[in-house]
């Protein structure tokens, strides 16, 4: 059997923060050099840090507490299963009042638009870019107050909805929004729930989302550096006031953006 001379998918200079809870990140040492990996049928990031290899796995908010496993393909072609434990974490509830009832209960025409937009965004979220080395230590994309945390169990006008999939940062309308790490713009648009939106690819399945913006100051396909302005805070889409909704995806899974903040 031929041996594939590849040690890790990407070499990095910083390590992500591990938090093995629903909505967190599992950083798992691999015992042998792996060339590919997957978790829940999604490709996972493999990194080489200081001569050692790690699997970096986004854990869904909906995952069951207890034993989970990922699959690795080794350089010699063999397969390996690696188990890890997900610990329990409780998230608080948040009750919001939305004055536009269609933003809570969309009509048939709205649902057609939402479906089209979901396909567009899902395509961007599933992007895998080998030639971008991800950066795990990020700065906040906007100066403001964290008004709503990741994972909150949300109720709109008393109706239960999906948990909050990002971090909300309240700021005055027009406040500049900056790229927290280098990347390539994969999608922009005005979406039904998200308003003016940017999706930014940081490489190897690490992708960030910026919603409810006033202006979008970048174009699809453009490369941005950390600290470069990408837009301004607004209150477009389903909102109760001006703020930035910031989400981060790993292996097509929303994870807590607070795990990336080091400033």
Which among 175, 168, 166, 171 has a CA at the least distance from the CA of 207?
166
Whether residues 100 and 162 fall in one domain? yes
In this predicted structure, what is the pLDDT of residue 1? 36
Whether residues 163 and 184 fall in one domain? yes
Q: Is-contact 130 9, C-beta < 8 A?
A: yes
User: What distance in Å separates the CA atoms of residue 29 and residue 33, rounded to the nearest whole number?
Assistant: 10
**φ, ψ at 111 (rounded to 5°):** -65, -35
In this predicted structure, what is the pLDDT of residue 175? 98
Question: Which of 86, 104, 126 represents a domain boundary (last residue)?
Answer: 86
Whether residues 219 and 110 fall in one domain? yes
**Which CATH number characterizes residue 237's domain?**
2.70.70.10
Q: Is residue 4 situated within a structural domain?
A: no
In this predicted structure, what is the pLDDT of residue 119? 94
Buried-state track 126-158, b at ≥16 Cβ within 10 A, e below 16: ebbbeebbbbbbbebbbebebbbbbbbbbebee
Whether residues 81 and 115 fall in one domain? no
Low-confidence ranges of the chain (pLDDT < 50): 1-7
User: What distance in Å separates the CA atoms of residue 183 and residue 168, rounded to the nearest whole number?
Assistant: 21
Which residue range(s) make up the domain with 20? Answer: 10-86
Q: Is residue 16 situated within a structural domain?
A: yes
User: What distance in Å separates the CA atoms of residue 146 and residue 164, rounded to the nearest whole number?
Assistant: 13
Whether residues 107 and 151 fall in one domain? yes
In this predicted structure, what is the pLDDT of residue 197? 97
User: What distance in Å separates the CA atoms of residue 182 and residue 135, rounded to the nearest whole number?
Assistant: 7
In this predicted structure, what is the pLDDT of residue 98? 60
User: What distance in Å separates the CA atoms of residue 158 and residue 151, rounded to the nearest whole number?
Assistant: 18
Q: How far is CA 161 from the centre of its chain?
A: 19
Q: What angle do CA 253, 257, 259 make, to 5 degrees?
A: 105
Whether residues 122 and 210 fall in one domain? yes
Q: What angle do CA 62, 122, 117 make, to 5 degrees?
A: 115
User: What distance in Å separates the CA atoms of residue 105 and residue 167, rounded to the nearest whole number?
Assistant: 23
Question: In this prediction, what percent of the chain has a pLDDT beyond 70?
Answer: 87
Question: In this prediction, what percent of the chain has a pLDDT beyond 90?
Answer: 69
Give residue-wise pLDDT tens across range 80-135.
Answer: 999 999 999 887 766 566 666 666 677 888 889 889 999 999 999 999 999 999 99
């Amino acid at each position: 059997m031929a041996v594939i001379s590849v040690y890790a998918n990407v070499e990095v200079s910083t390590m992500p923060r591990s938090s093995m809870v629903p909505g967190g990140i599992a950083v798992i040492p691999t015992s042998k050099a792996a060339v590919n990996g997957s978790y829940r049928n999604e490709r996972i990031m493999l990194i080489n840090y200081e001569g050692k290899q790690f699997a970096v796995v986004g854990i869904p908010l909906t995952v069951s507490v207890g034993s989970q496993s990922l699959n690795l393909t080794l350089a010699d072609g063999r397969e390996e299963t690696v188990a890890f434990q997900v610990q329990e974490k409780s998230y608080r509830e948040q009750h919001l009042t939305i004055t536009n009832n269609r933003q809570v209960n969309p009509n048939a025409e709205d649902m057609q638009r939402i479906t089209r937009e979901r396909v567009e965004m899902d395509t961007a979220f599933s992007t895998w870019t080998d030639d971008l080395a991800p950066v795990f230590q990020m700065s906040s994309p906007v100066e403001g107050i964290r008004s709503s945390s990741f994972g909150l169990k949300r109720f709109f006008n008393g109706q239960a909805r999906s948990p909050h999939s990002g971090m909300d940062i309240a700021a005055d309308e027009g406040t500049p929004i900056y790229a927290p790490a280098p990347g390539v713009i994969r999608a922009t648009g005005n979406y039904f729930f998200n308003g003016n939106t940017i999706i930014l690819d940081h490489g190897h399945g690490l992708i960030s989302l910026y919603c409810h913006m006033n202006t979008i100051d970048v174009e699809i396909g453009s490369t941005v550096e950390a600290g470069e302005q990408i837009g301004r805070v607004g209150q477009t889409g389903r909102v109760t006031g001006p703020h930035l909704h910031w989400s981060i995806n790993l292996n097509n899974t929303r994870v807590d953006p607070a795990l990336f903040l080091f400033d």
